């Protein structure tokens, strides 16, 4: 039998993974394949969607932390440290990566010729690392009882 000590944290963790995978790994590039979607229009949609995703991620992270505090979980347990990675990555995205991508998107929408950048590759790498760490954390919340 398997049990979960912090069910809200587990649910929020896997919902968070679902949001990131659905938006970052599917919607982000598919929207540009839709008929009639121009690059500026797709960038405008992306700015809106990723801004909303960022806010949802913070709500989910807060819910996980709150559930851990209510459950009196030891934050520094090795299995709980895995949550620190996505939290730090989310902070980096919020204060640096998303604003930088947003500014580039706005310049492109405004018709400014901008040089090539690796920011999107960094973003995809951060998202992949975040999903991996969240998965490890989420799995650590389950305990088998014999």
Report the pLDDT value the prediction gives residue 99, as an integer from 0 to 100.
98
For the record, the structure tokens of 98 come out as 């998303």
Q: What is the pLDDT of residues 56-98, one digit of tens each?
A: 999 999 999 999 999 887 777 777 788 999 999 999 999 999 9
Q: What is the pLDDT of residues 22-40, one digit of tens each?
A: 999 999 989 999 999 999 9
Sequence length of the chain is 146
Residue 106, SS3 per DSSP: helix
Residue 124 to residues 6, 29, 142, Cα–Cα distance (Å): 29, 12, 28
């Amino acid at each position: 039998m398997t049990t979960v000590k912090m069910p809200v944290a587990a649910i929020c963790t896997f919902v968070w993974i679902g949001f990131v995978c659905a938006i970052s790994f599917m919607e982000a590039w598919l929207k540009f394949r839709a008929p009639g979607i121009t690059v500026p229009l797709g960038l405008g949609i992306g700015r809106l969607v990723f801004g909303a995703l960022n806010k949802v991620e913070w709500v989910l992270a807060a819910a996980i932390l709150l559930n851990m505090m209510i459950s009196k979980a030891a934050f520094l347990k090795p299995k709980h440290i895995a949550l620190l990675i996505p939290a730090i990555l989310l902070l980096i995205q919020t204060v640096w990566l998303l604003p930088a991508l947003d500014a580039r998107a706005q310049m492109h929408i405004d018709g400014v010729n901008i040089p090539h950048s690796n920011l999107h590759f960094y973003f995809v790498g951060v998202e992949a690392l975040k999903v991996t760490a969240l998965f490890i954390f989420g799995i650590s919340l389950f305990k088998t009882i014999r």
